[in-house]
Amino acid sequence: MRFPNPVFVALDTPNLSRALELAQAVKPYVGGLKVGLEFISALGPEAVRRVVEIGLPVFADVKFHDIPNTVAGASTVIAGLGVAIFNVHASGGEAMMRAAAAAIAPWTPRPLLTAVTVLTSMDEAALEATGQKGPARDQVARLAALTKASGLDGVVCSAHELATVRKVAGPDFLTIVPGIRPAGTALGDQRRVMTPSEARAAGADILIIGRPITAVPDPAAAAKAIAQELGLAGF
Ligand code: C5P
């Protein structure tokens, strides 16, 4: 399940004009846009609609995690905004994921529903402190398998977990990968990064890229350089 241009730009800003300006600037060079909790908390659903109106697929990185009834209701609302993809936490469990999937099943086009397995910010000590013992990779494998069994379309994962996810969920499961840094760009707070072409070669379907595009003087040029690095047709 591949997107012709796999790059989704993370519009991590609480400023709508800035987000729309950035999105318009990079539109010719990217495959989609991502809005997350900062954007949505600051600006609300109407702002998500404005981003959808730009005409690229939008990934709402909402990471829902609540009782099934509440997540089903929230999923219906998010689908109604016209986003192409949104997500929940796999650790919310099978009933929660199935409720989200059932809530959006009647929509056409139906948004793709994905799940976060283990937050990449959590190391093994942090997982253990939440009661989760054992290697983080095992938890990623368990939750990716549960996500698939619950009828979802894919997961958000680190590029370093792609092989684990593919092993349990197969080649058609959508993989969305943040932590991407073109060679020579600032890491910021990301640690275990891959370049866009490395992540693509490792099997990522969607690459979430924020600051290497949004925090440089010429976002359009940065996005174009990434499209060229990936060898996409037309660049
Ligand atoms: O600026 P940068 O490229 O690091 O942005 C990555 C984006 O992906 C941010 O919006 C961040 O919230 C998101 N993300 C992440 N790691 C995860 C899940 C989401 O970096 N595990």
Measure CA 159 to chain center.
Answer: 12
pLDDT digits (tens, 9 = 90+) for 60-91: 999 999 999 999 999 999 999 999 999 999 99
Compute, in angstroms, the gap from residue 179 CA to the centroid of ligand 1: 6
User: How many helices (H) and strands (E) would you count in the chain?
Assistant: 10, 8
Q: Helix (H, G, I), strand (E, B), or coil: what is residue 144?
A: helix
User: Ligand 1 centroid vs 34 CA: distance in angstroms?
Assistant: 10
Q: Is the peptide bond before 45 cis (omega within 30 degrees of 0)?
A: no
Report, in this order, helix, strand and coil percent for the chain, each rounded to 5. 45, 15, 35
CB 30 within 8 A of CB 223: yes
- Which atom of ligand 1 is least distant from the CA of 214? 1
- Judge contact between 188 and 173, C-beta under 8 A: no
With a 6 Å cutoff on the Cβ, whether 179 touches ligand 1 is yes
Domains and CATH numbers, the chain: 7-229 (3.20.20.70)
Q: Smallest Cα–Cα separation from 65: which of 90, 86, 83?
A: 90
Is residue 9 a contact partner of residue 33, using CB atoms and an 8 Å limit? yes
pTM of the model: 0.96
Strand partners, 174: 154
Which class for 46: exposed (0-12), middle (13-18), buried (19 or more C-beta within 10 A)?
exposed
pLDDT one-digit tens code per residue, 133-188? 989 999 999 999 999 999 999 999 999 999 999 999 999 999 999 999 999 999 98
Q: Name the one residue in this structure whose structure tokens are 């490792």.
A: 202
Please state the atom number of ligand 1 nearest to the C-alpha of residue 189: 4
Candidates 63, 133, 148, 224; catalytic one: 63
The 3-state DSSP class for residue 10 equals strand
121 versus 54: the higher-pLDDT residue is: 54
Kindly state if the Cβ of 99 falls inside 6 Å of ligand 1. no
Nearest CA to ligand 1 atom 13: 178
| ∠ Cα 136 72 70 (to 5°) | 85
Per-residue confidence band for 200, with pLDDT thresholds at 50, 70 and 90:
very high
Cβ–ligand 1 distance for 199 under 6 Å, the answer no
- Both tokens of residue 52? 């959808």
State yes or no: is 148 an active-site residue. Answer: no
Please say if the pLDDT value at position 11 is more than 90. yes
